[in-house]
Amino acid sequence: MTEPFGTRLRAAMDARGPLCAGIDPHVGLLTAWGLDDTVDGLRRFALGAAEALAPTVAAIKPQSAFFERFGSAGVAVLEETITVCREAGSLVVLDVKRGDIGSTAQAYADAYLDQRSPIAVDAITASPYLGFGSLDPMIETARRNDAGVFVLALTSNPEGPEFQHATKPDGRMVAASVLDSLRAANAGADPLGSFGAVVGATIAEPVPELDINGPLLVPGIGAQGGTADDVRRLFGDVLHQVLPSSSREILGAGPDPAALAAAAEQAAASFAALGAR
């Protein structure tokens, strides 16, 4: 990769529309597709989704846990899925939500962001709740490899505000502090920084300043209740930075490849119409 992740993501969103399609092979979806809850079922599901979606969407977001539950065989399927997606021209954001300190954080960074790794991707999700500085190994490894990191900031789960809306001694919300750190990491980047925030489509008020000069990965679309109108209301002037993420609503259209592709194209079009590109 010869361009920073933010530059490549901006180009992909402009060319393919602003959508990140999730691949979440949980047992309910495997069953809905007529597949067994086995490694073979996992592989048929994940590769079927990847082959249908990766040629058209800006980014694919596999949820690592649903692969890891099958052990090493499941991780091998994840590696294969990543390869298929990247070869089809889609960026891959691996949803792993890693967060640790020191050498362990560096090992996570080496596993997913060093492009010499067999499981390397374009970007990962990460948790800042050991302190934003704990993510430095991931941020710096991403910089060296033209990769990206999406940091949890404001999530839609009902437990999130317990930490994210808590206030620091200076009076700022913890979530606002995370966004400030991302804004600093993206300073001077053009057209888009490589360090993004995860901000749910159904987050509770208050909402801090969201312009971080970087991408905003917005899950909670579709089956989780978030709508295009929610995105318009919450993100306003930063719609062009929003990468909406939809998983179950799109995957529910499977296993027919044409139906999967059509569902993704419809979702991307609904957000492009809002100017989120």
Higher per-residue pLDDT: 246 or 223: 246
Question: Would 100 be classed as within a structural domain?
Answer: yes
204 CB contacts (<8 Å, ≥6 apart)?
161, 165
pLDDT of residue 222: 65
Higher per-residue pLDDT: 160 or 76: 76
pLDDT at 241 over 60: yes
pLDDT of residue 252: 95
Question: What domain range includes position 91?
Answer: 5-271
Question: Would 277 be classed as within a structural domain?
Answer: no
Q: Which of the residues 97, 143, 172, 232 is marked catalytic?
A: 97
Q: How far is CA 154 from the centre of its chain?
A: 14
CATH number at residue 28: 3.20.20.70
Token pair recorded at residue 247: 């998983």
Question: Would 169 be classed as within a structural domain?
Answer: yes
pLDDT at 223 over 50: yes
Question: Active site includes 97?
Answer: yes
Question: Would 123 be classed as within a structural domain?
Answer: yes
- Tell me: the pLDDT tens digits for 120-170? 999 999 999 999 999 999 999 999 999 999 999 999 888 998 999 999 999
* 205: confidence class by pLDDT, cuts 50, 70, 90: confident
Mean pLDDT of the chain: 94
Question: Would 276 be classed as within a structural domain?
Answer: no
| % of the chain exceeding 70 in pLDDT | 97
- Tell me: the pLDDT tens digits for 172-201? 999 999 999 999 999 999 999 999 999 998
pLDDT at 277 over 50: no
Whether pTM exceeds 0.85: yes
Q: Which of the listed ranges 78-92, 153-167, 236-250 does the model predict with the highest average pLDDT? A: 78-92
Question: Would 196 be classed as within a structural domain?
Answer: yes
Question: Would 102 be classed as within a structural domain?
Answer: yes
Q: How many domains does the chain have?
A: 1
**H/E/C letters for each residue in the chain?**
CCCCHHHHHHHHHHHHCCCEEEECCCHHHHHHCCCCCCHHHHHHHHHHHHHHHCCCCCEEEEEHHHHHCCCHHHHHHHHHHHHHHHHCCCEEEEEEEECCCHHHHHHHHHHHCCCCCCCCCCEEEECCCCCHHHHHHHHHHHHHCCCEEEEEEECCCCCCHHHHCCECCCCCEHHHHHHHHHHHHCCCCCCCCCEEEEECCCCCCCCCCCCCCCCEEECCEHHHCECHHHHHHHHHHHHHHEEEEECHHHHCCCCCHHHHHHHHHHHHHHHHCCCCC
